[in-house]
Amino acid sequence: MSFRALLLEEKEGKVSGAVAAIDDAKLPPGDVTVAVDYTTLNYKDGLILANKARLVRQYPHVPGIDFAGTVSESGNPGFKPGDKVVLNGWGVGERHWGGMAEKARVKGDWLVKLPAAISTKRAMAIGTAGYTAMLCVMALEDHGLKRDAPVLVTGAAGGVGSVATAILAKLGYNVTAMTGRADQTDYLKSLGASAVVDRAEFANGPAKPMDSTRWAGAVDTVGGKVLATVLTQMAYGASVAACGNAAGADLPTTVLPFILRGVNLLGVDSVMCPGPQRKEAWARLARDLPLDKLDAMTSTATLADAPALAEKILKGQVRGRTVIEVKG
C-alpha cells in the first residue's frame, strides 16, 4: 500500500518538494495511524518548505506541522478507528513526518479528539495558527483582561491575527487590528475589528521610552520593533501575549514598561503546550470562534500548491488561513 504526500528532498543544500507516492512501510513509528483529510499552511510550514530556518535535519521529509483526519489504526487505548482527531505541533512536520500526506503515523498522546462541532476541514481552517490565537486569548483572560477593553492584534490580516481578531470581537472586546496592508481594512472590519491601524506607525520602534496608554491587552504575532512599540503603549498592569516573530526575533525594548507600569509579557507556545490546555483551547474554539467568520477568512489549496504558497506566506502575502486538501 502507498499514500500520496508532499515529499521534500535535499540535493546539494537545496530543498525542493514534489507530490510523490510513498510506501506505507516508510511511515514513522507511532501507535496511531490517521487517514489525513486536511492539513494547512502555517508560517512555520513556509519556513520549512523554503528551508529558511533549518528546522528539518533529515531528508527525505514530509512537512506539515498540523493535520486533521480519521483514526484508521490504533494501539493506543485513548483512540479507536473512526475517531476524528487533530494534531498540532510536537515536532510533527519538523522532526517527525507531518500532515502534508494522505496518511500520518504519530504518538496517540499528541492527538486531540475534535469537538463534534468542528469538522476536519474547519479544524484545519483553524490550524495551528488559530489554535495559537486561542491560546493567546486564554493567556490574556487568565491575566485579567476585562470585556469591552481595548485590545490590539498585530499582523492582523495573517492567520493567527485573523482568528484572534474574530474570537476577541465575538467575546465582546474592543479590537484594533494592526496591518501593513491598508487594502485589508474592510476584511479586518468584517472579522469584527472596530478600528484598523497602520503598521508603519509601530515599525520603527518606540518614539519615546514610555508612550500614552492605549491598550488593555495585545496579541502580538510579529515581535521586533512593533512589539517594542506596543509595550510602551500598554495600560497599567496590562498584558501582551507574544506568539510570533514575522517582523523579527529581536526585541529592542527597555525594562521601563515592566517596572513603571507592571506590564506583563506572556509567552505563548503551541508546539509543546500540555495536553489539558490544548483540549481546552479546542473546546473554546468550538464555542468562541464564529464559523461564518472562519469560513470567510479561509481559502483552499492542494498539496502541489504548497511550495508556491510557502514563498507567499513568508512575504506576508497570504490573507487569513489556507486549508490544504491532501487528496486534491
Give the residues lining the site for ligand NDP (CB under 6 A).
42-44, 128-129, 132, 155-161, 179-181, 199, 221-222, 226, 243-247, 268-271, 313, 316, 318
128: cell is 495551528
Closest C-alpha among 301, 285, 317, 280 to residue 166: 285
- DSSP 8-state assignment for residue 146: P
In the complex with ligand NDP, the residue whose CB is nearer, 63 or 158, is 158
- Smallest distance from the beta carbon of 27 to ligand NDP, in angstroms? 25
Q: What is the largest CA-CA distance in the chain?
A: 63
In the complex with ligand NDP, the residue whose CB is nearer, 104 or 133, is 133
In the complex with ligand NDP, the residue whose CB is nearer, 70 or 299, is 299
Number of helices and strands in the chain (H, E): 9, 15
Cα–Cα distance list, 177 to 138, 229, 249 (Å)? 18, 15, 21
Closest chain position to ligand NDP (CB): 158
In the complex with ligand NDP, the residue whose CB is nearer, 85 or 219, is 219
- Smallest distance from the beta carbon of 313 to ligand NDP, in angstroms? 5
In the complex with ligand NDP, the residue whose CB is nearer, 71 or 169, is 169
- Smallest distance from the beta carbon of 297 to ligand NDP, in angstroms? 10
- Smallest distance from the beta carbon of 270 to ligand NDP, in angstroms? 3
In the complex with ligand NDP, the residue whose CB is nearer, 119 or 245, is 245
Strands (E), 42-149: 66-74, 84-88, 103-106, 111-113
265: cell is 509579557
- Smallest distance from the beta carbon of 219 to ligand NDP, in angstroms? 10
- Smallest distance from the beta carbon of 181 to ligand NDP, in angstroms? 4
Cα–Cα distance list, 117 to 113, 121, 135, 145, 323 (Å)? 11, 11, 19, 27, 18
